[in-house]
Amino acid sequence: MSALFITNIGSLVGLHPQETLMLRGNQMQGLPTLENAWVLCEDGKISDFGKMDQLPVDLPNTAFTHDAKGGFVFPSWCDSHTHIVFAASREEEFVMKIDGKSYEDIAAAGGGILNSARKLQLASEEQLYNSAAIRLTDMIKQGTGAVEIKSGYGLTTDSELKMLRVIRKLKDNFQIPVKASFLAAHAYPPEYKNNHEGYIKLIIDEMLPKIADEGLADYMDAFCEQGFFSVDDTDRLLQAGAKYGLKPKIHANQLSVSGGVQVGVKHQAISVDHLEATDDAVIESLKSGDTIATLLPSCSFYINIPFANARGLINANIPVAVATDYNPGSTPSGNMNLVVSLACIKLRMRPEEAINAATINGAAAMELSREVGSIAKGKKANLFITRPMSSLAFLPYSFGQSQIDTIVLNGKIS
Query: Least distance to ligand NIG from the beta carbon of 248, Å?
Result: 15
Q: Which of the 8 DSSP states describes residue 217?
A: -
Q: Which of the 8 DSSP states describes residue 151?
A: -
Binding segment (CB under 5 A) for Fe ion, from list 120-128, 325-333, 358-366, 379-387: 325-333
The answer to whether 186 is annotated as binding is yes
Distances in Å between the alpha carbon of 397 and those of 214, 325, 340, 345?
Answer: 45, 22, 9, 9
Query: Least distance to ligand NIG from the beta carbon of 312, Å?
Result: 21
Counts of helices then strands in the chain (DSSP H, E) = 16, 16
The answer to whether 325 is annotated as binding is yes
Distances in Å between the alpha carbon of 68 and those of 49, 75, 398, 406, 408?
Answer: 14, 15, 20, 9, 12
112 binds ligand NIG per the rule CB under 6 A:
yes
DSSP 99-149: TT--HHHHHHTT-HHHHHHHHHHHS-HHHHHHHHHHHHHHHHHTTEEEEEE
349 binds ligand NIG per the rule CB under 6 A:
no
Query: Least distance to ligand NIG from the beta carbon of 116, Å?
Result: 5
Query: Least distance to Fe ion from the beta carbon of 54, Å?
Result: 45
Distance CA 327, CA 183 (A): 13
For ligand NIG, which residue has the nearest CB? 329
Query: Least distance to ligand NIG from the beta carbon of 21, Å?
Result: 25
Identity of the residue, 303 or 395, whose beta carbon is nearer to Fe ion in the bound complex? 303
Distance CA 207, CA 239 (A): 14
SS3 237: helix
SS3 346: coil
Identity of the residue, 47 or 181, whose beta carbon is nearer to Fe ion in the bound complex? 181
Distance CA 190, CA 205 (A): 19
CA 213 to chain centroid, in Å, comes to: 25
Q: Which of the 8 DSSP states describes residue 25?
A: G
116 binds ligand NIG per the rule CB under 6 A:
yes
Q: Other CB atoms closer than 10 Å to residue 197's CB: what's the count?
A: 9
Q: Which helix (H) or strand (E) holds 65?
A: strand 64-67
- Residue 269 interacts, among ligand NIG, Fe ion, none and using kind-specific CB cut-offs from 5 to 8 Å, with none
- Residue 260 interacts, among Fe ion, ligand NIG, none and using kind-specific CB cut-offs from 5 to 8 Å, with none
The answer to whether 153 is annotated as binding is yes
365 binds ligand NIG per the rule CB under 6 A:
no
Sign of the alpha-carbon dihedral angle for 114, 358, 371, 74: positive
327 binds ligand NIG per the rule CB under 6 A:
yes
Q: Which residue in the set 145, 248, 297, 329 belongs to the binding site for ligand NIG (CB under 6 A)?
A: 329
- Residue 116 interacts, among Fe ion, ligand NIG, none and using kind-specific CB cut-offs from 5 to 8 Å, with ligand NIG
Query: Least distance to ligand NIG from the beta carbon of 149, Å?
Result: 12
113 binds ligand NIG per the rule CB under 6 A:
yes
259 binds ligand NIG per the rule CB under 6 A:
no
Q: List strand residue ranges (DSSP E) for 140-253, in order.
A: 144-150, 178-185, 219-224, 247-252
Query: Least distance to ligand NIG from the beta carbon of 241, Å?
Result: 18
Q: Which of the 8 DSSP states describes residue 81?
A: -
Binding segment (CB under 5 A) for Fe ion, from list 105-113, 127-135, 281-289, 318-326: 318-326
Q: Which residue in the set 79, 225, 325, 352 belongs to the binding site for Fe ion (CB under 5 A)?
A: 325
Binding segment (CB under 5 A) for Fe ion, from list 35-43, 320-328, 336-344, 383-391: 320-328
Distance CA 414, CA 411 (A): 9
Q: Do 188 and 196 contact (CB within 8 A), yes or no? A: yes
Per-residue mark of binding to Fe ion, 332-371 (x: CB under 5 A):
----------------------------------------
- Residue 389's Cβ-count burial label (10 Å; 0-12, 13-18, 19+) is middle
Identity of the residue, 82 or 382, whose beta carbon is nearer to ligand NIG in the bound complex? 82
Distance CA 358, CA 364 (A): 10
Q: Do 207 and 184 contact (CB within 8 A), yes or no? A: yes
* Binding residue ranges: 81, 83, 90, 153, 186, 251, 254, 325, 327, 329-330
* Binding residue ranges for 4-imidazolone-5-propanoate: 90, 153, 186, 254, 330
* Binding residue ranges for N-formimidoyl-L-glutamate: 153, 327, 329
Interface ranges with Fe ion (CB under 5 A): 325
Interface ranges with ligand NIG (CB under 6 A): 83, 112-113, 116, 223, 251, 254, 299, 325, 327-330
